[in-house]
A and B are shown apart, each in its own frame.
Chain A
Amino acid sequence: MKPKSFDYVRVDTLPALFAALGAHDNAKIVAGGQSLVPMMNFRVAQPEVLVDINGVEALRHVVREGAVLRIGALARYRDVIDSPLVRDSVPLLVAALGHVGYPAIRNRGTLGGSVVHNDPSAETGVALCCLGAELVVASAEGERVVPIAEFFVTTYLTDIAPHEVLAELRIPVPAPRTGYAFREVAKRVGDFAIVNVAALVAVDTRGATTAVSLALGGVAETPVAVDVGAALLGRPLDAARAAEAARLVDAAIDPQDDNVAGGEYKRHLAGVLVKQALLAAHEDALAKGA
């Protein structure tokens, strides 16, 4: 349980980061280290150089610009959960991140690290998928913006090159009268989810559903967004509508057996949690829309 020997470089600016990444073939960025360091101890990851970006202040911001919340990739779960700005503009994210690990992990781990790592049941990715976030990926050549659904390739693999860094998460702030819910079943508090579901439901003044967004974790190699609009739009959301949406989800997913749970159970759980999340999000929207 000891890592292979590696070199360590600490950088404080993005140019220094890009220089360090350019100078080494097998370099790996370390931020919170909550996934990478255990993988190194298991020798699953064997980087030759660890580039520590914890000093790069330019990646730590949490700001709102108009209808977009911009979160630096180095922001820690704790920074985001405790931010009044996030709580007011994207409460779904706060609800989701409350399920991440334990206080020690939330104090150290970063949102950017979670997204780049892509554990398919990680709460960060599921919430960001539901919110339709965009990611800013930076390198010495400049920046590119990637929709989150395209960023996730498969388990533990994302659309990022060795010389790039995930710089920022851009989250559209949901419209007024949008309710949210996050539901998760894990074996224990703080464990990786078996299945989790994030939902946003917007209503008009009469309570009819005008927009819905739904994402699930734990049911595929990446977080999965499912379009359930056909079942819900234009009508109030009740138990029968939620069940119809759950049927759409059931048809859209194909969860496999893994070390956490069997595919059949995950499918069952997806149905239960989708119904719960949609009804709760709708109720929340009604409360906001009054």
Chain B
Amino acid sequence: MLHAAMLRSPHAHARIKSIDVARARAMPGVHAVLTGEDAKQYWGPLPPTIDIGMKVPTVYGLATEKVYYMGEPVVAVAADSRYLAEDALELIDVEYEPLPAVTDTEAALAPGAPLLYPDWGDNVQCEWGMAVGPVDEVFAQAAHVFDYRIPQHRYSGVSLEGRAALAQFDAYSRKLTLHCSTQSPNLVRTLVAQTFNFPEHDVQVIAPDIGGGYGNKLQADAEVIPCLLSLATGRPVKWTESRQENLLSGMQCRDYVWYLRVAVSRDGILQGLDAKVYGNVGCDGTCHAAGAGKFLVACGYVPGPYKWQAFKVSTKVAVSNKAPSGAYRGYGKDIANFPLEVAMNRMADALGISPVEFRRRNFIGRDEFPYQQISGPIYDSGDYALCLSKLLDLVDYDGVKRRQARQNDGTGSRYLGIGLASMLEPSGGAVPNCIFNSYEVATVRLMPEGGILVLTGHQDIGQGTETTLCQVVADELGCTPDDVRIIYGDTNAVPYGMGPWSSRGATFNVSCVAEAARTLKRNLIEVAAHLWQCEATGVDIAGGAIAEAGGERTLTLKALGNQLHLWPGAFGIVPKHVTNPFEATHYWTSPIASWAPDELGRIRLYSTHPSGSSAIVVEVDAETGKIEVKDIAIVDDCGVIINPMIVEGQLHGGYVQGIGGALLEEFHYDERGQLWNTDLTSYLHPLATDVPAIKCDHVISPSPYTALGTKGMGEGSAIMPVAVMVNAVEDALRPFGVRVSELPLTPERVIALLRTSPRWREMYGAPA
């Protein structure tokens, strides 16, 4: 087996003038050294993953004429060991002509900005927008109109395991096997086949248990490089991404700025929302990964859980000289949630209403579901006001407010604050003209020895899919979870499904597995009834056995499996009208998603709409700027809960990631496009010492649109915390009247913010 290493661009934007690989090729132990030009004999450009009226650049797995971001792979090496491969990188000479770089979103969109793709004429990858209702009239007549600019910085999932790939091209059979750390083996197979113009059925992708994904592993980007090297050498080639490589080029996310205008009536009723979001997808938001689509999702969901009379939204998605942008726990739902939930608190302040009361006045009511939001989606179910009420109890909101009044009297330097926000988490997305277009499939099979095998296109990425699906199948088929095995992660073993993204597990995946299990159960009951010459009605499966009504005659699943497959075999016991008693396959599509525009031009992308509220209590040290998180409380409504431990695990994990985004995590690019934090001593995650125990409570509003009333819930917890943290810090620093304008809230940024307050300067200013 050979080991791959990649020479990466030190420049954010540069023309490649020459590459000299002679010394590297001559090094003993080196088997291949390929530049982007060399690679063109094996592959074509990276195919787009999404194209909704977008500009699609011609870019390759290795840079050709230009490099577009710091860290872009330029030369690939395969050698006998990773050590030798990295030695060989030091022998490669690349001559670059540096070009002006642009990293800031609005700078990239400004006239005269350096252009990444000069033939585009600008840096706009896509634009999209819609308007519904009498926008101008509502704003002209509103008692209050609020304007906000709300940006968010770039951070991402940064999973425990970076990317990893082992490519094995067999020159005799001309088949390519790729083991890789991905969330979606089937999508990767398609994208690899497209990249190499290879017959898709001759590509096998195997994804064993992987070390986390969070949305970052939903494309074939650098994974094509070990494939290339295996094709070139005819030998297996392994690449394990280092942490530095992962931070430089693993998919990044967030990075946008909103402009919101909100019209509010005299009595605090939301009337009109006019919103623009400028997104930054780095060098590209479709070929390297499907980052651009999240801004479309953001536009659809910025109205949140509230009622509106008029709505206007638009997005402009910019390319810039930063690493490519992909998905990360939210994919636009986070972008939708953040600005409005910050604005809700600021508007409540301006109106002299509590943020709780302001939300209550504007929530969609529990009796109004299914509710078509003004932007188009149909919200299936929920009780937003109940979530908020439960939250107030869980976090002891009134008690914290009383403590705050005592503590923030100006005698100490630690200021107590509480922030809260509501959350809508559309889950189970279906985006047109995109690899995220969504359906899911499962086969549920009765084995000869009575065990149940589930073949799923879904993928376990640490979120407990195996546990959850075993529970679902055991409940449907009347057996125990121990009787069920889940097979996933091998494109040659499972049907073509799409994998875990958009919190599809409890929408698409659970629904297709449940439906397939139900079909199998019906057929097995028909077989048993035929054997016993009785009516099928009343025959049921429980405790691993089929039983006649009244329970006189029973047959274990093992006995039935034996009879069906072997003794005597199917022809002896299966009635004519049952065509397949062995297994059932179900393709599940959302009954509520629709890409046919309605009379207002609106489409519907999501299947279910979980919701919730959360709160954070902080203490801000006005002298050092340090924020201490004192308490976290979450109330979640994801419909029917299959496994409470898994649901709360999702809430805990996602919330901590959100705390990271609010306080610590940031890809620190300078204006020349140099990324300054490429290791985990400088790209900082929350540690156990940064997060208190998290309290959770639940509201259960079953979805009418999924097989079990469940809703996907893997992202909402990561969506909320950034807005909640901003609200908490602004609440704590109320005596200084400051508004957060930049994230993450490092101690330095907090002090910079406080410096703008005359009162703070008087109390804590410089000693001189």
A interface residue numbers (CB < 8 A to B): 1-5, 38, 42-43, 185, 187-192, 194, 243, 246-247, 250-251, 259-262, 265, 267-269, 271-273, 275
Contacts and interface: CB of A to CB of B under 8 A. Distances in A.
23 contacts: A1-B242, A1-B243, A42-B244, A43-B86, A187-B746, A188-B687, A188-B690, A190-B689, A194-B748, A243-B767, A250-B766, A250-B767, A251-B768, A259-B676, A259-B677, A265-B625, A265-B752, A268-B751, A268-B766, A269-B624, A269-B747, A271-B767, A272-B624
Interface of B: 82-83, 86-87, 90, 242-245, 623-626, 664, 668, 676-677, 679, 681-682, 684, 686-687, 689-690, 746-748, 751-752, 766-768
Contact of A191 (B82, B243, B625, B684): B684
Contacts of A272: 623-624
A267 B752 CA distance: 12
A262 B748 contact: yes
A122 to B, nearest CB: 13
A2 B82 contact: yes
Closest 6 CB pairs of A and B: A1-B242, A265-B748, A189-B689, A246-B767, A271-B767, A2-B83
Contacts of B679: 38, 42
Contacts of B624: 185, 269, 272-273
Contacts of A246: 767
Given A188-B684, A188-B689, A250-B768, A4 B748 contact: no
A5 B664 CA distance: 36
Contacts of B82: 2
Task: Please indicate which of the listed interface residues A42, A43, A185, A268 has the most CB atoms of chain B within 10 Å of its own CB.
Answer: A268
Contacts of A259: 668, 676-677, 682
A98 to B, nearest CB: 13
A218 to B, nearest CB: 12
Contacts of B245: 1
Nearest to A183: B624
Contacts of A273: 624
B83 A247 contact: no
Contacts of A265: 625, 747-748, 751-752
A190 B686 CA distance: 12
B766 A271 contact: yes
A187 B664 contact: yes
Given A38-B679, A189-B690, 6 more contacts: A1-B244, A5-B83, A42-B244, A188-B687, A250-B768, A269-B747
Contacts of B626: 185
A287 B145 CA distance: 60
B746 A2 contact: no
Contacts of B668: 259
Contacts of B242: 1
Contacts of A247: 767-768
A191 B747 CA distance: 14
A286 to B, nearest CB: 22
A189 to B, nearest CB: 4
B162 to A, nearest CB: 10
The B interface is mostly helix, strand or loop, or mixed, namely loop
Contacts of A42: 244, 679
A192 B681 contact: yes
Nearest to A261: B748
Nearest to B677: A259
A194 B747 CA distance: 10
A190 B687 CA distance: 10
A187 B676 contact: no
Contacts of B676: 259
A260 B683 CA distance: 11
B684 A185 contact: no
Contacts of A260: 682
Contacts of B768: 247, 250-251
Contacts of A262: 748
B87 A4 contact: yes
A130 to B, nearest CB: 20
Contacts of A3: 83
B5 to A, nearest CB: 8
Nearest to B86: A2
A133 to B, nearest CB: 27
Nearest to B244: A1
A262 B768 CA distance: 19
A272 B766 CA distance: 9
A272 B764 CA distance: 9
Contacts of B684: 187-188, 191
A250 B90 CA distance: 45
A244 B405 CA distance: 33
A242 to B, nearest CB: 9
Contacts of A250: 766-768
Given A185-B624, A185-B747, A265-B751, A191 B681 contact: yes
A50 to B, nearest CB: 15
Contacts of B687: 188-190
B574 to A, nearest CB: 59
Nearest to B686: A188
Contacts of B690: 188-189
Contacts of A188: 664, 684, 686-687, 689-690
A194 B87 CA distance: 35
Contacts of B243: 1
Contacts of A191: 681, 684
Contacts of B244: 1, 42
A259 B245 CA distance: 19
A15 B767 CA distance: 53
Nearest to B747: A185
A2 B4 CA distance: 12
B242 to A, nearest CB: 4
A188 B679 CA distance: 15
A42 B242 CA distance: 11
Contacts of B87: 4-5
A43 B86 CA distance: 10
A4 B82 CA distance: 11
A1 B624 CA distance: 36
A2 B80 CA distance: 14
A219 to B, nearest CB: 14
Contacts of A268: 751, 766
A251 B690 CA distance: 34
Nearest to A243: B767
Contacts of A43: 86, 90
A89 to B, nearest CB: 29
A271 B687 CA distance: 28
Nearest to B240: A1
B84 to A, nearest CB: 9
B82 to A, nearest CB: 5
B10 to A, nearest CB: 14
A5 B81 CA distance: 12
Contacts of A189: 687, 689-690
A192 B682 CA distance: 10
A76 B676 CA distance: 31
A1 B240 CA distance: 10
Contacts of B90: 43
Contacts of B625: 265
Nearest to A192: B681
A43 B88 CA distance: 13
Task: Please indicate which of the listed interface residues B624, B686, B768 has the most CB atoms of chain A within 10 Å of its own CB.
Answer: B624
Nearest to A251: B768
Nearest to A3: B83
Nearest to A248: B767
Nearest to A273: B624
Contacts of B766: 250, 267-268, 271
A194 B668 CA distance: 17
Task: Please indicate which of the listed interface residues B90, B681, B690 has the most CB atoms of chain A within 10 Å of its own CB.
Answer: B681
A240 to B, nearest CB: 11
A262 B668 CA distance: 13
B8 to A, nearest CB: 12
A4 to B, nearest CB: 7
B607 to A, nearest CB: 38
Nearest to B243: A1
